[in-house]
Amino acid sequence: MENVLVLVRHGESEWNKLNLFTGWRDPGLTETGTAEAHRAGKLVKAEGFVFDVAFTSALKRAQITLEIMLEELGQQGLETIKDQALNERHYGDLCGLNKDDARKKWGDEQVHIWRRSYDVPPPGGESLKDTAARVLPYYEAEILPKVLAGKNVLVSAHGNSLRALIMQLDKLSPEEILKLNLGTGEPYVYRLNADGSVASKKILTT
């Protein structure tokens, strides 16, 4: 199968486990996250995909997830392009804070707005709209042309950078995308038409 785009959110990170706002900080994976990455690789391998190129962010939790998946796929050494355009949303002043502590400092409602609104950024950080403004041009310039050239592309990135991308692929409204929670290590498989629209979509679960 050609024209395949597989999107995977990294496995559980050390800061996910600690309930911290992570953003552009760079923790590694937990044991659970490592296991999720292995499982994601096995799930993708079971579909029979062979990839031509992979993309990931500048953050090691996404890079390690990709490395583990490629190991499971028997495709170590695959051309891999790393770019901070695919980084997680930057949480600004919230980075490194426990989410419960942030609620105590700013209030439940304000933290909820920062986390779940489309276009209201936390202090010094990015909204989902801001994240989309860097992810989508990169996708259209670097990733999409490869898929449309008949290549199979694997992308290991982050909850919000991938939500920005899925919003465009699935033609979701700002309200609809806010309800989407991507599971860690859960592959989304898209097959694209010649115009870049979605021909089919499948979420791989155990």
CB 103 within 8 A of CB 111: yes
Query: Of the listed 88, 90, 158, 186, which one is catalytic?
Result: 88
**Run of H or E including 175:** helix 174-178
CB 173 within 8 A of CB 23: no
**Run of H or E including 118:** none
Is 90 designated active site?
Answer: no
Which SS3 state, helix, strand or coil, does residue 187 take? strand
Query: Of the listed 10, 12, 36, 186, which one is catalytic?
Result: 10
Is 10 designated active site?
Answer: yes
For the chain, the 3-state helix, strand and coil shares in percent, each to the nearest 5, are 45, 15, 40
Residues designated catalytic: 10, 88
